[in-house]
Chain A
């Protein structure tokens, strides 16, 4: 571009932008997915929760690595196996000036599980717990059995004012009831366009940095990046992996990533003798080979995780060894990502009597996780090298999850070998192990996302003991042991842990979060 054109463009830009003064304290944040509601208890979904976190606060906080610390509750103690006592922070005020106290906590816990028409409620964190007032700043929680994950659960519940407990979802959407204790006040919500927040000057904690925060959903990846480059936005979340390296090299920007609590993995059909998407090479029905540990191990060894991470994820990921990265509590330090070993895999397959391989169709969602369809294709190619006839089918998420969960005969999972992702919202692996690899049992609520129907009494027993063990060290050891058994038995084939990447203009510092939340509080002006 010539100097002349630059001068003109500068003048035009100045002219166009004059009526839009950008204050130094304004912060414009671009997010990839739009919140579905302003009701903090309507939909337990990250795009909602991350907006709520500005306005509302939980009793205990999770920091950027999901470590638990005091929040609206300053201290707690375990009275006995089934009773916890919490002390609340005195002097905290809601945005409308009213005092925060135990009555608000109790009103919240009553409302949150029972919001009408809620598609994903917070009930699982609250049901079974009884909240009792001791005094204005002290309450006790009673549970039917030991509940070691008490704090992890309470960290998910947004505390509302008791005055607004009877308000409807529409009242919250209109802003009438969106009153919390958080660092930012609700100011405006235009569905599909923006959420505007203003600083809570009487915030009890560290003074919020920004005078005004505008959160704008920009779904299209290239547009979100362009909006940052053009200065429409100050920061964006979910930097596409294809752009991350380029943006890191751009001197006008700051980029930061954190390893997420999500694992991308293959689930394997373990509940059928004849799996619908596996056939002999001649097309004849064969016995489900995935029931053979040697075949499962061969599949895992034939996956070149390093290549997937480097080539497809463009280094915006790490090879995975288990359900959550081993920086989290309750994980096994002994497990390492299975190294790529094609010869070893071929040998194992031969030992299993399948040296000719077999035909398999692998399935996965398209567009649900970063590069999901590409990873599925790559895995298909890698398994072809192992000697299998692989067909790859990437399906839109809307269709994939219902088929993967109940698409088969009698409402059983449909697929044989399929790619899925799982994130550990509680910041440790107990939910992952429980949902993915314990025996599917509706009454007990175990194996709720066990779409392979893997079942191992040893894993079940360890997990069920772990989630009743209040002692952290003991529980984490049990979880690590359950993880080791399940992974060595190849109950799932972990592929990678994606990185979450944020980008901001130069001069901002970013504190990236492992729970994928994008918060204005994570950004500071240098």
Chain B
């Protein structure tokens, strides 16, 4: 999934950095400012919702689009994510075109 997202976004001309879970992502986010963050909900060590909560608490990510990847059945995850500060979500499965369209949308 992560490779697919990274591949699609690089193909769309974006500069992509991958991290394998929430804690790794947080580390990278501290050293570099990203224009948008896309995270899966289920991840080892730190899940996507906690990652969003922590990122949103960082001043440099206060207004950054933070998107989560959910499944259709995970309605409660959506609201949980929103409460943690997520900008929005993308429902799996999606194709690279949908992903790019969504990213273009939030990045204006």
Answer whether A and B are interacting partners: no
Residues of B near any A CB (own CB < 8 A):
none
